[in-house]
Structure 1
């Protein structure tokens, strides 16, 4: 148990001149404040208790709300109900006080909510609608993005606190067809559509090349978008592009990729998926497998790189892979992105061939059935709200969209170092080695969407909540970490089973969350001793002339919970002798404890060397 000294370090007390009764007394008094709740008085269980229900996420009239943590905790205690903490709500985080005095916080990787025009939090709704000027905007979004209604104005504008980012098409745009989060501009080139789509963190622009004849058009070999004045583009080493204005990053793209519409196929039993060798026979198309769309590649899609190049006068050139444009084995339509993020939502992936891929709003884990490539996924959570808190429980929730298998298979959670690329981009396979990172938990699940299990299986929330995870998050909070990063791998801690096909899975990026229940640490706001002495350490420490001293402390719990104190009496530099627990008392009350000397405690010279520890407990324990 780590302790932080309040009264100074405990050390040997210098000898004292003779006191009443002829016996020399030298008593060292010191208080050590622990970071803490009631469980610190008793030994914590090997397994963390299941986390309380998640904090309420949506604004409804039935949910109680208070502006700050202290008011919410008080209301929760009085009503016996969970109370949302309005001042702790953000785009990615919600918090609620529980009736037992604890606070539960839920932090997502991607934005979950945004304020409407009246300042009220609403769930993200990316459905496009026409704004006052005719341009199309998402209904509820953290990103102020505007798509053209057609004509010669900017194709897209992203407004912000600084200079807006605009991109324009080199010609006149047709009137778009709007459906859901997407605006489709038909025939921007013969046989080519342009699809603009709003995302939780920005937008994407995707060229849809519908035929081989369209792919042969020189206009699609190099496509240039014009960026508005005052915004400077720069190409980064990983293939992404950064947009800056006034010295600030206003947006960043993922490395651009392209994909075709090839279906997922299965080879005869015994064939090698990597080489196509094996028994003679034709591959069978999997009818229920995911198909390619502007959102991302299907399960069987061929994928190629798109070169990005910053041109003069604010131009951004996209150069699709010629081998895919001209390939005889590609299936049309072809899709050419990239996507842009305006805010810092953090997830990333790595694959064993170190190749860029558009994952279509999902994270992939395990061996891709199309080409045998291994995938791992990573998520980064903001720790701001739980810095310095005592974490009672922690869990990571990841919602499974699809699994190769019809029955549950395993996936493992590890704590890793932080993400170093743009959100949704690829990290090098070798820089995030798993399973050599800190193992936290494993879970099993299935959600097959291929139709091969008789019917499409529903999404499944997979929860990771072992004591190893709670302990690790607790340590991160105590150490005031700003970020907490985890990785998902099909591999177990021994590095096995990552190539097992039945462990292939896809997870939603916007439904991955860290759920933490914490209590704030009580503090000693005042202290005193009987007899009264100053707080001094080392050779200048005071002497007292009683064998039954008393230590008093005023203890305050930030959430207003009752507090206890355990005073420990121990040999300076030696072992614990005894202790006494005082309380419960109201937050802010004085608690007192003392222990008389025990027989045999006097040193050979007549000196007595003793020190105190104070263990604090909150939340009424």
Structure 2
């Protein structure tokens, strides 16, 4: 036979020996293990796990939660177009030839040379073949077989033309391929058998038989010939055998077809009656025939066979003579080892006793003088990996023994067999005996054929725990000189040997990818592992159990065990209940760990059946070593920060950026400042608030990282930076203060730094003026000294009277004088006078250029003011306006021209319990409104008085004098209670700070906080930001 593939066993074998009925769900809906388990427990009957079907295995869930699996040495089903079907090697017509109906892989036989010649394009579809190819003059190659096994293609070509075949079930007869020579091809699951039938001596003289050649081809396999056995193998790129051919054999017709008691005699088919070659007894094997190996060589992918001339020409040779090279897939296989032909391979029983055998043999047979052993491969992939084996036995149907005496058969664990396995090269296989079974079945009707089932639980448990994908079992007689130990077992077909296993699924061993520490990150199993700093450590594991279902979790608990790498007992060891996602977490205090020490940790799982994921000995999580971490309590130094674009502001706040605010492409450089590059994980930074929500990572081998940053806030800014070590320890922060030049153009209302955002001025407890630069949402994160004199800092305490402690009243909104477009500061100083302090455009005011503001005759003395509120133009005259409160009066001053106000007016009295918050358009009607703190209504904290349009634009100031004069004649509740002076001693309205077009409010509480509240058109909004800087000690804001 020439490269054969897998042995067929019908689906009926699924229920061998148990006699039970199986409760099966819908065939069209594959049932997985958890679902089958639930159905079995509910019904009290076993349920097939249809999703686990393979070509040679079947699995059933048991009512007790366990599973029963049968693993056959031969395939008994094939996957055809996504559906499992019984093996059917019958040939059917396909394009270009004939193919087996339902086999694993594909077996295709040629439809004849004429069909190939007429349809070469069609016949070669998807195949790398040589058809009707002229290699040498007179030499024609015709594709004979197209085989796919294990996902690999190969072709075998015949050295000559082929007639159209006669089809008889799985057989294709090519008559008279040469005069007096027929060719019989038989499809098998994953392979084929091949018989060249030489009918007489005249045919035997055909030059073709002088050296019979077959051309082999494959796009991804190479072919190898074993030197001792002449067994041929096809191997993939890794050198693994994919398909194999046993030792080629030839025999004559002198033997007789073997018969067994109660077994029907072999009968030819109806087609065979019309085509006598198909009825020859020698096709089915004939014991006692003259049998010889056929010499083989392989060169340039051409297999050359040299039949034995002595057998062909011997007078006693009975014709026809049969020559048999074959090919068989490697995955599901067995082999017969025959001592008499010690260098011959009888892979899958092929060529033994002429055309082969479907019976394994064990022991010494005195009639022939032969001694046999048999080995079976059982493939199961990963189906048993990690399972808890409850029971396991190998079952084989014994069909013959020398008597009914129960003689033992030994079962061995052997290496995996291949097509080149022979008696002589397997003598070292028989060292590990795993079972012995006494039986005397198959002698006569007193001890008929029956199954043996030796226990091999230990071996199967080892396979499951060690992750084997297959195991091989060898059958041998303990006494190989006594014929009473000789036995036969069915090796192929629906009663082939199989392993029956009952097992429980263990929960899965947690893998490194599902294990992590916080901090530290995912499990590392090499070197010193992850680095963890001076902090509590949270260990987190995600467990799983393949018996879990979305509606029913079988996973129960997960263990976390931690111990020092240097030795000693665990420092933490707990079994924790898994949550619905299979996750457990455990926080372990930092004082559990020692600085500088390395620790290992692992995880195990248990399920609700009591099974656990571990095996014997220590468990390494994920099969890749212990999870490892090293503890370090060393805190890195705070980083060094520099920038050419943004130099440090200097002690006197005189150094400014090289470019104005919002200039793109600017950078800062951060270095370790003594921290080693290999110890730095990252730098964390943030602008103007110590949030540290941004990251910068140095390049490998360097401690330097570049922070790209476009700064949009003019004036004072602060970059906060800290170092995070690889152990997770965090340095102290570095605070890098810098000043950013204003953008070109006039200041907008409330802006003193030139970036368009309103800023906040404040006098601290020591009497110093501070400028807090507001950002795009009104946050005031950094400040600079607000006053200079000819570019130099002013004396401390300038803004309060040291004797009385009285502070200046301040306000800013717009440009007052001399019309340079820069916002100026209005201040009533402790001397009782009112001054303009010109702005520099950089957030500071020059006290050396101050100008006293003259008051109109009869106007109130500024020394009596208790509150000062400055606004941009609100009455339509194009000039800024000033509102003030004295002991009881509400005043407005308008039309300042550089020397004096053009007008003033007491708007109202009765304001002793009220404070002005702001005078700007709040309601959105383009007319300024008045917001004030109201003490006349117990349920109202802030009031909104809507203004009426003035004749010159702006607001009619009389509409702000009283509720009666206002738009709608109503003071509306802008904020409810909680806005009294005790809660917020200082409240100040500001132009829109967050970009929504509505003025906002700054408020200073009694708990050191300064807040900015979002304005609304009818009621105040929520606080948008907070500054914690001892604001309860500040003397005033403005």
Question: Which TM-score bucket, shorter chain as reference?
Answer: 0.5 to 0.7
Q: For the Cα contact (< 8 Å) 2:412–2:475, is it kept in 1?
A: no
- Show structure 2 runs of 5+ residues with no match: 1-15, 117-142, 267-279, 515-540, 560-576, 585-603, 612-1038
User: Contact between 2:252 and 2:318, CA under 8 Å: does it hold in 1?
Assistant: yes
Q: Offset of 1:78 from its aligned partner?
A: 1.8
Q: In structure 1, what is the Cα distance between the partners aligned to 2:231 and 2:485? A: 33
User: 8 Å contact 2:334–2:417 — kept in the other structure?
Assistant: no
Q: Evaluate the alpha carbon distance shift between residue 349 and residue 61 of structure 1 in structure 2; reply closer, same or farther with a 3 A threshold.
A: same
Alignment pair present for 1:394 and 2:392: yes
In structure 2, the residue matched to 1:26 is none
1:141-171 residue CA offsets vs partner (Å, 9 max, x unmatched): 0021111122254111114687732222222
Q: 1:80 aligns with which of 41, 44, 48?
A: 44
What per-residue deviation string (whole Å, max 9, x for no partner) do you get for residues 335-369 of structure 1?
21122123422322322231425232332222245
CA contact (8 A) 1:260 1:333 kept: yes
Instruction: For residue 442 of structure 1, report the CA deviation from its aligned partner.
Output: 0.5
In the other structure, the counterpart of 2:255 is 263
1:373-412 map, 5 Å: 373-383=370-380, 384-400=382-398, 402-405=399-402, 407=404, 409-412=406-409
Alignment partner, residue 253 of structure 1: 245
Aligned residue number for residue 309 of structure 1: 297
Q: Distance in 1 between the 2:154 and 2:161 partners?
A: 19
Q: Tell me how far 1:247 sits from its aligned partner.
A: 7.1
Per-residue CA deviations over 1:158-212 (Å, capped at 9, x if unaligned) read 1468773222222221222222221111222233221111112311221122333
Q: How far off is 1:327 after superposition?
A: 2.6
1:222 aligns with 2:211: yes
Question: Which of 500, 507, 512 is equivalent to 1:515?
Answer: 500
Give the equivalent residue in structure 2 for 1:38: none
| Change in 2 beyond 3 A, CA 1:343/1:65 | farther
Q: For residues 7-44 of structure 1, give each alpha carbon's deviation from its aligned partner in whole angstroms, at most 9, with x where no partner exists.
A: xxxxxxxxxxxxxxxxxxxxxxxxxxxxxxxxxxxxxx
In the aligned structure 2, how far is the partner of 1:158 from the partner of 1:104?
34
Q: Do the aligned partners of residues 194 and 488 (structure 1) sit closer, same or farther apart at CA in structure 2, a change above 3 Å counting?
A: same
Residue aligning to 2:71: 107
Deviation at 1:64, TM superposition (A): 9.9
Provide Cα deviations, 1:246-275, integer angstroms capped at 9, x if missing partner. Answer: 777663322212223333699xxxxxxxxx
Which residue matches 2:224?
Answer: 234
Partner of residue 364, structure 2: 367
What does residue 328 of structure 2 align with?
341
Q: What is the distance in 1 between the residues matched to 2:265 and 2:304?
A: 30
Deviations 1:507-553 (A, max 9, x none): 22341111111002257999xxxxxxxxxxxxxxxxxxxxxxxxxx9
Whether 2:173 is the aligned partner of 1:211: answer: no
Deviation string for 1:437-482 (max 9, x for gaps)?
314131424336xxxx589x97543322x3xx21232233223233
CA contact (8 A) 2:407 2:485 kept: no
Could you say what secondary structure the match of 2:172 adopts? Answer: strand
SS of residue in 2 equivalent to 1:385 = coil
Q: Counterpart in 2 of 1:428?
A: 424
Aligned equivalents of 1:163 and 1:430: distance in 2? 28
Q: Find the partner of 1:128 among 91, 98, 111.
A: 91
C-alpha contact 1:114 1:142 (8 A) present in aligned 2: yes
Task: Name the residue aligned to 1:483.
Answer: 470
1:40-85 alpha-carbon deviations (Å, 9 max, x no partner): xxxxxxxxxxx9959999x977779754222221222122222222
Give the TM-score of the pair, scaled to structure 2: 0.40
Contact (CA 8 Å) 1:264, 1:301: kept in 2 or not? Answer: yes
Does the alignment pair 1:330 with 2:317? yes
Partner residue in 1 for 2:34: 70
The SS at the match of 2:372 is strand
Q: How does 1:61-210 map to 2 (within 5 A)?
A: 66-117=30-81, 119-131=82-94, 133=95, 135-152=97-114, 153=116, 154-159=143-148, 164-210=153-199
* Post-superposition CA distance 1:482-522 (Å, at most 9, x none): 3222111232xxxx365315623242234111111100225
Give me the whole-angstrom Cα distance separating, in 2, the residues matched to 1:137 and 1:212: 33
Q: Distance in 1 between matches of 2:502 and 2:161?
A: 54
1:65–1:72 Cα contact (<8 Å) kept: no
Query: For 1:514 and 1:286, how far apart are their aligned partners in 2?
Result: 28
Count of residues in correspondence between the two structures:
473
Gaps (5+ residues) in structure 1? 1-50, 267-284, 527-552, 568-582, 591-613
Change (3 A) 1:61 1:70: closer
Q: How far apart are residue 122 of structure 1 and its match? A: 0.7
Question: How far does the alpha carbon of each residue in 1:226-253 deviate from its partner, in whole angstroms, 9 at most, with x for none?
Answer: 3347565332233122345777766332
Match of residue 419 from structure 1? 416
Q: Which one is further off, 151-160 or 226-235?
A: 226-235
- Paired residues of 2:149 and 2:329 also in contact (CA < 8 A): no
- Distance (Å, rounded) in 2 between the aligned partners of 1:429 and 1:290: 36
- Whether the 8 Å CA contact 1:165–1:227 is kept in 2: the answer is yes
Q: In the TM superposition, what are the counterparts of 1:35-50 in structure 2 within 5 Å?
A: none
Distance 1:554 1:251 in 2: 42
Q: Which residue of 2 aligns with 1:7?
A: none
Structure 1 CA distance for aligned equivalents of residues 47 and 97 of structure 2: 39
Q: 1:141 to 1:289 in 2, by over 3 A?
A: closer
Task: Give the match's secondary structure for 2:59.
Answer: strand
SS of 2:453's equivalent?
Answer: strand
Deviations 1:355-386 (A, max 9, x none): 42523233222224542110000112224211
Deviation at 1:288, TM superposition (A): 8.9
Structure 1 stretch displaced more, 139-148 or 70-79: 70-79
Change (3 A) 1:196 1:106: same
2: CA distance between counterparts of 1:180 and 1:227?
26
Q: Does 1:503 align with 2:503?
A: no
In structure 1, how many angstroms separate the alpha carbons of the residues matched to 2:222 and 2:503?
44
Contact 1:557–1:618 (8 Å) recurs in 2 = no
**RMSD value, Cα:** 4.5
Contact 1:350 1:429 in 2 (8 A): no
Q: Residues 394 and 246 (structure 1 numbering): CA distance in 2 closer, same or farther, change over 3 Å?
A: closer
Q: Which has the higher contact order (CA 8 A, sep 6+)?
A: 1
TM-score (normalised: structure 1): 0.65
Task: State yes or no: 1:441 paired with 2:456.
Answer: no
Q: Which residue of 2 aligns with 1:43?
A: none
Q: Which has the larger radius of gyration?
A: 2
1:420 is displaced (CA, Å) by 4.1
Q: 1:147 to 1:556 in 2, by over 3 A?
A: closer
